[in-house]
Amino acid sequence: MLTKEVNDLLTQTTPGTPMGSMFRKYWIPALLASELPANDSAPVRVKLLGERLVAFRDSEGRYGLIDEFCAHRGVSLWFGRNEEGGLRCPYHGWKYDHTGQCIDVPSEAAESGFCQKIKLTGYPLVKIGDILWTHMGDKAERPPLPVWEFCTVPEEQTFTSKRWQECNWLQAMEGGIDSSHVSFLHSGSLKTDPLFRGAAGNKYNQQDRKPVFEVVDAPGGLFIGARRNAEDGQYYWRITPWVMPSFTMVPPRGDHPMHGHFWIPIDDENCWAWSFDYHPTRALSAEERQSMIDGYGVHNQYVPGTFRPLQNKDNDYLMDREAQRRGETYSGVWGIAMQDASLQESMGPIVDRTKENLVSTDNGIIMARNRLRRAVQALVKSGATPPGIDPAHQKVRSVAAVLPADAPFVEACREDLTVRPGVKQTSV
Amino acid sequence: MLTKEVNDLLTQTTPGTPMGSMFRKYWIPALLASELPANDSAPVRVKLLGERLVAFRDSEGRYGLIDEFCAHRGVSLWFGRNEEGGLRCPYHGWKYDHTGQCIDVPSEAAESGFCQKIKLTGYPLVKIGDILWTHMGDKAERPPLPVWEFCTVPEEQTFTSKRWQECNWLQAMEGGIDSSHVSFLHSGSLKTDPLFRGAAGNKYNQQDRKPVFEVVDAPGGLFIGARRNAEDGQYYWRITPWVMPSFTMVPPRGDHPMHGHFWIPIDDENCWAWSFDYHPTRALSAEERQSMIDGYGVHNQYVPGTFRPLQNKDNDYLMDREAQRRGETYSGVWGIAMQDASLQESMGPIVDRTKENLVSTDNGIIMARNRLRRAVQALVKSGATPPGIDPAHQKVRSVAAVLPADAPFVEACREDLTVRPGVKQTSV
Amino acid sequence: MHDDDTPFRTPVPTFDRPTLLSSCAQATTAEEARFRVQYPNAAPRSSRIVALDDGAARMMDDIIAEPRPAAHFLKVAPRQPDISPNEVVLLRLDGDEALLSTELAGADVVVLIATSAQGRRAAEIIGRVARAASVTTAGLIVTADAADDVVRMMRPVTGVLVVSPDADHLAAMLSALRA
Amino acid sequence: MHDDDTPFRTPVPTFDRPTLLSSCAQATTAEEARFRVQYPNAAPRSSRIVALDDGAARMMDDIIAEPRPAAHFLKVAPRQPDISPNEVVLLRLDGDEALLSTELAGADVVVLIATSAQGRRAAEIIGRVARAASVTTAGLIVTADAADDVVRMMRPVTGVLVVSPDADHLAAMLSALRA
């Protein structure tokens, strides 16, 4: 459990909140590059950390992420005309460039310079990989651009999706570092999902449903090791890196692509679950890519034309009690992603952690919360740079390996847990 | 901008608020007469100025507008049986007449006179034109019945619709007196709408997109003149009357019917946009009436069976970016009414006017707000009768005219701005 | 050309449009409205309010109790020495003289107040010089009469004109414009 | 048997599912969340926190300012008389001696804290006896070094292991576990 004060501290990210200030220190995913496919394409509403913004790509291809509402009367610029180097409000024709600077107020003489006095908030948008990244904090303290491996490998080796999750970012993220639910909730999927099945390591998961956890502090966050019995007194280890504030990677299975997540607050009661799949050294096969598009693995299907999952709380996640009974799915909900999301959403928009009853296998979550709390408090107190901003912290991989019984897993896998260009992942 | 205090003063109309008291001085539109088509027809829920009411037409054809909830246990009388001269609650049979007087409590002996002790709030409902009007204020101070021209001409000359708008009444009303957006937001519609196209005056709108405004105080409200350059050094004037609290008329185009609006608070975050079209001296043609029914001009299409616009915030107003690009519509939203409503709703349920940045072309809105503020404060302070109640204030028309360069437009059009029975509108 | 030369095309609204996460449904709730515009999105404006005649000067005195740091309140001086056809001598609140050319430099908007046609010559110069300098002008005529001559004086020199018998519109306008 | 021997079957999501009143849609609103768990749904837990070495004992002293009535804070005594191969002598906060067997009776969880391999023998006994008594064990290693030997000591005797250079995880863990 957490006290109400700490629960509020970690879950609230709107402007002016401590955790909101911390998220504003990082480059975070804002939208898929495919959402702004061409110069002068339709603007897109973006809500991040409680701020209402509109993203657009101007006539010269410059990306802009600016305040959604016109400074004149507060109309949404989503209705705007994206043309001739800026976004024009359709109400009285005020026009803004990609930085949010007002560049035309038709009712005033152009020479008066009135428009120069009007400036909307504007954040940068930078395309790296499939994603447009933004930094919503102080321009003077803008950190280096992100170097996560999944978005810096060649494009044929990577695939990214995002889905709307209807709960606070923290309870979604906690699912990403909670290895102890895999043997239960996702047990059906290990058999049937084309992006998981067939890996040699799967048998350890299914033979030993009581993994033992070790949680090890790392400069950028944590390494969470789950060990199961393997042959000859050795252990099968699945190692999940968590990098602050909200990057997680799932341990690999065989030569399947590696995958992971970013959990980004939309507002305090909604978040984006970003999901990626990539292979460090080879292109994704056509079948793999199609499976990802079809919603297998960590991805999902959508309500057409939206980023809302096809299975959502309004249709009970298309729960199938018969499939649950037959054991094809453990909870009756199809797909890894929605198995997690359905349960996390059912916990409420912001779970009340004063009421939970944690056990010692929850120590990964306990440690992560404590790291977040410490980093936020250090930021508030002394402006300390939070972990995860240093590019070295971002160069991590997950690992699946069989190790001798007494080997400390982080030391034994030091190199495997680090991005090594041209070297494939360590996996079983 | 407005201070928070004045913004609250002007936008809040629930019982006991100053602006709520002012609205309760006027006869206001409550519902379309067609909503109560016959004696003993189904009762209709009506919410006005934050009050929950139910309207019905009793067995003798008397209209009633009474408190929605039964005095016994609070059941909604919308479920009631409208029969035998009253509305009977289906729960325990309490029955009310069209004034709200309880006339039967079955559990009590009729002789006890118990029911005479029970009286729900009841307001008058009077049919004038297509509308049932109500007065929700003190009966002793009931003003003369409304005499607006659009509802006193013969019925074949007039058409009225209403639509639900999901924002505060004031920001909807401000759109009605904001002439400076016409050259932008509605520019596509002037070409294509059958209720606008073809007027000689349209060319002035399109040739001169920077109108100059003059705002002139009038006893009942304002006259807002927008002048554009015409031939031979003359000006093309479009004159919008605003009568307090919320009646506006659009300047006419050619011999097209004249139109205008009432903006009536449902509660603080919703309002009814009433829209009328009439011709002072001729019947509407079948084509014109059909165009109005089809949602052209200031009218709109509906979600079937409701007064909610077919284009609404849940479907992004069926925005068409291709039509926006082709220039058929300026914002991509179809129809004058929904072009306005979409932007006004995007400003939020009650726009925060402390944050806006007005310019001098917004002086019509600035003046109207100041008139409302003064009238409310005078009412609170000394009980002064607000403008717009005097029938003389209601006998106004909008005008479109070409005038000499130095003519004061109100003086030059004194007669044209006044209702003259049997004389058609002044229009170009 | 006539407007109705354009062929009329009826857009066909349909129901098969999805509700996007980013839809207006999310865009207009009371809860999220709290988070709009958390910062000053406009630089302070600098305005000059000029009383063109004696009645206007009295009106102005009535409203300057409220401090408006970005506004200069000015009156046309009774004596106008013949400096230049483009110059007007103005008086600051403290009685010091100021030149129109100095005051216009750095101004965003000039509000001219008139109660009569007394200030015709000054109005003509201020309007002409402000237009040349691309400074927005607004006019407020406060008079209970028909005021034809005042309208004739003010219309050519202002970008927007307000006519009212009530002096309190001046304060409302300045406040609304953040002047 | 291989996992992929199982025939692959694609479930077909459909749209023809009604939203029930009892659907999750109703179950996950902010309003209803207030009404969850209105009563104590868990009995108090009883925990034993055991410092295995001197560094761990100093750390423990730092956090016990906060009262934790359901927790017993214990240190492995420096002198271990040879009572039994299944017994460890512990010291309570007040300096009194307590036996492991006594302390384990009624305990829900034992948290072992180590900063070095100094407490190897005590750790081995506590882990073995706790497992036999079905008492959950958790280990916290607080050390800035690689700590191979401490991991080797703690891994066989704990059900979950946390390794961190920061002492403040102890307080966070105890609080999170309601210890």
CB atoms closer than 10 angstroms to residue B10? 23
Instruction: Determine, for residues D6 and A357 on separate chains, whether the beta-carbon distance falls below 8 Å.
Output: no
- By the 10 Å C-beta count (0-12 exposed, 13-18 middle, 19+ buried), B336 is classed as buried
Distance CA B58, CA B41 (A): 8
A76–B contact, CB cutoff 8 A: yes
Mutate to test the interface with B, among C28, C110, C158, C178 (most CBs of B within 10 A): C28
CA dist list (Å): A341 to A174, A246, A362, D21, D72: 11, 16, 18, 20, 39
Which band of pLDDT confidence, cut at 50, 70 and 90, is reported for residue D1?
very low
CB atoms within 10 A of CB A356: 18
- Report the residue of chain A nearest C42, measured CA to CA: A118
Do the chains B and A touch each other, judged by at least 3 C-beta pairs below 8 angstroms?
A: yes
Q: Within 10 Å of residue C72's Cβ, how many Cβ atoms? A: 18
**Binning pLDDT at 50, 70 and 90, where does residue A314 land?**
confident
What residue has token string 């919703």?
Answer: B270
Alpha carbons within 13 angstroms on the beta-carbon side of residue A130 total 18
Compute the radius of gyration of chain C from its Cα atoms.
23
Question: Closest to A114 (Cβ–Cβ): which among C39, C108, C131?
Answer: C108
Q: Which residue has the higher pLDDT, D43 or B69?
A: B69
Residue A358 scores a pLDDT above 90: no
Would you state the structure tokens that stand for residue A105, as one six-digit string? 């107020």
Q: Are strands D160-164 and A212-218 parallel, antiparallel or unpaired?
A: parallel
Q: Is A386 exposed, middle or buried (0-12, 13-18, 19+ CB in 10 A)?
A: buried
Q: What is the mean pLDDT of residues B277-287?
A: 97
User: What is the predicted pLDDT for the residue at A193?
Assistant: 72
Q: Which of residues 132-171 of B touch C (CB under 8 A)?
A: 166-167
How large is the C-alpha radius of gyration of chain B?
Answer: 23
Q: Under an 8 Å CB criterion, which residues of C touch A?
A: 17-24, 26-27, 32, 35-39, 41-43, 45, 108, 131, 134-136
A1 vs C16, residue with greater confidence: A1
Residue-wise pLDDT for C111-133, tens only, equals 999 999 999 999 999 999 999 99
Q: Is the CB of residue B234 less than 8 Å away from at least one CB of chain A?
A: no
pLDDT score for C72: 92
Pairing state between β D160-164 and B212-218: unpaired
Residue C4 pLDDT class (50, 70, 90 cuts) = very low
What does the pLDDT read at residue B148?
98
Q: Which residues contact D65 (CB under 8 A, 6 or more apart)?
A: none
Is-contact A135 A122, C-beta < 8 A? no
Confidence of residue C18 (pLDDT cuts 50, 70, 90): very low
Are residues D41 and A167, on separate chains, in Cβ contact within 8 Å?
A: no
Do residues B155 and B301 lie in contact, with contact meaning Cβ atoms separated by under 8 Å? no
CB contact under 8 A, C23 and B213: no
* Percent of chain B predicted with pLDDT > 90: 75
**Cα end-to-end span (Å), chain A:** 35
DSSP-derived 3-state class of residue A119: strand
The proportion of chain D whose per-residue pLDDT surpasses 90, expressed as a percent, equals 41
Flag if B317 and C24 touch (Cβ within 8 Å).
yes
Q: Are B175 and C121 in contact (CB under 8 A)?
A: no
pLDDT surpassing 60 at residue B277: yes
> Which residue, B66, B322, B361, is CA-closest to B213?
B361
Instruction: With CA atoms as reference, report the closest residue to B395 among B173, B221, B170.
Output: B221
What pLDDT band is residue B176 in, cutting at 50, 70 and 90?
confident
Q: What is the distance, to the nearest Å, from the Cα of residue A145 to the centroid of all Cα atoms in its chain?
A: 16
Which residue in the set A167, A348, A363 is minimally distant from D173, CB to CB?
Answer: A363
- The per-residue pLDDT for range A386-417, each reduced to its tens digit, is 999 999 999 999 999 999 999 999 999 999 99
ipTM exceeds 0.90: no
Mean pLDDT, residues B120-145: 96
Among residues B189, B180, B181, which one has the least CA distance to residue B332? B189
Q: Residues A272-305: pLDDT tens digits?
A: 999 999 999 999 999 999 999 999 989 999 988 8
- A308 touches C at CB < 8 Å: yes
Residue A315 confidence (pLDDT) above 70? yes
Least confident of A106-110, A394-398, C14-18, C162-166: C14-18
Judge: A212–D159 Cβ closer than 8 Å, yes or no.
yes
Q: What distance in Å separates residue A41's CA from the closest CA in chain B? A: 9
User: What pLDDT shows up at residue A127?
Assistant: 97
Q: Which pLDDT belongs to residue B238?
A: 93
Which residue's structure tokens are 């691309």? C134
Tokens describing residue D114: 């180590």
pLDDT bracket for residue D93 (50, 70, 90): confident
Query: Is pLDDT at A191 greater than 70 in this prediction?
Result: no
Give chain A positions within 8 Å (CB) of D24. 313, 316-317, 342, 345-346
Whether the ω angle into residue A257 lies within 30 degrees of 0, i.e. cis, is no
With beta carbons under 8 A apart, name residues in chain D contacting A323.
Answer: 11
Residues of A in contact with C46 (CB under 8 A): none
How do strand C136-142 and strand C109-114 relate by DSSP bridges?
A: parallel
| Residue D169 phi, psi (nearest 5) | -65, -25
The pLDDT of B190-217, averaged and rounded, is 79
- For chain B, the average pLDDT equals 92
Mean pLDDT of B143-152: 97
Say what the pLDDT of residue C8 is: 36
Per-residue model confidence (pLDDT) at position A210: 80
Alpha-carbon dihedral of residues B178, B183, B184, B187, nearest 10 degrees?
Answer: 120
Least confident of A179-183, C92-96, C146-150: A179-183
The answer to whether residues B427 and B236 touch, using CB atoms and an 8 Å cutoff, is no
Beta carbons of D164 and A367 less than 8 Å apart: yes
pLDDT band at D2 (very low <50, low <70, confident <90, very high): very low
Contacts with A167 from chain D: Cβ below 8 Å: 28
Q: Is the pLDDT of residue C61 over 60?
A: yes
Q: Residue C26 has what pLDDT?
A: 59
- At position A24, the amino acid (one-letter code) is R
- Greatest mean pLDDT among A155-159, B191-195, B346-350, C151-155 lies in A155-159
Q: What is the CA radius of gyration of chain A?
A: 23
- Position B385 scores a pLDDT of 96
Assign 3-class secondary structure to A168-194.
CHHHHHHHHCCHHHHHHHCHHHHHHCC
Q: In this predicted structure, what is the pLDDT of residue D122?
A: 95
Which residue of chain B has the CA closest to C175? B1
CA A278 to chain centre: 15
Q: What is the pTM of this model?
A: 0.82
Residue B192, helix vs strand vs coil: helix
What percentage of chain C reaches a pLDDT higher than 70?
Answer: 80
User: How far is A1 from chain C, CA to nearest CA, in Å?
Assistant: 28
Highest mean pLDDT: which range of A353-357, A383-387, B405-409, D65-69: A383-387
Alpha-carbon distances of D29 from A309, A355, B304, rounded to whole Å: 18, 17, 29
Residue B399 has φ and ψ, to the nearest 5°, of -145, 145
Site of tokens 């910062």: C39
Spell out the residues 6+ positions from residue B209 whose beta carbon is closer than 8 angstroms to its own. A106, B183, B184, B187
Q: Name the H helices within chain D.
A: 24-27, 30-33, 54-63, 100-104, 120-132, 148-154, 169-176
| Rounded Cα–Cα distance for residues D36 and B51 (Å) | 33
Check if the beta carbon of residue D94 is closer than 8 Å to that of residue D109.
no
pLDDT-wise least confident of A194-198, A395-399, B315-319, B388-392: A194-198
pLDDT at residue A378, rounded to an integer:
96
- At B31, the pLDDT band (50, 70, 90 cuts) reads very high
Q: Assign residue B327 a region: left if phi > 0, alpha if psi is -120 to 50, beta otherwise?
A: left
Name the minimum distance, in Å, from the CA of A337 to any CA of chain B. 26
Integer Rg of chain D from CA? 23
Contact (CB, 8 A) for B318 and B334: yes
Which residues in A285-426 belong to E strands, given as ranges? 399-403
Chains D and B are touching, with contact defined as 3 or more CB–CB pairs separated by less than 8 Å: no
C21 in Cβ contact with A308 (< 8 Å) = yes
Cα(B353)–Cα(C32) distance, integer angstroms: 16
Q: Residue C9: its chain B contacts at CB < 8 A? A: 192, 328
Q: Is B360 close to C2, i.e. CB distance below 8 A?
A: no
Selecting from A42, A106, A118 the residue whose C-beta is nearest the C-beta of B357 gives A118
Contact B383, C158 (CB under 8 A): no
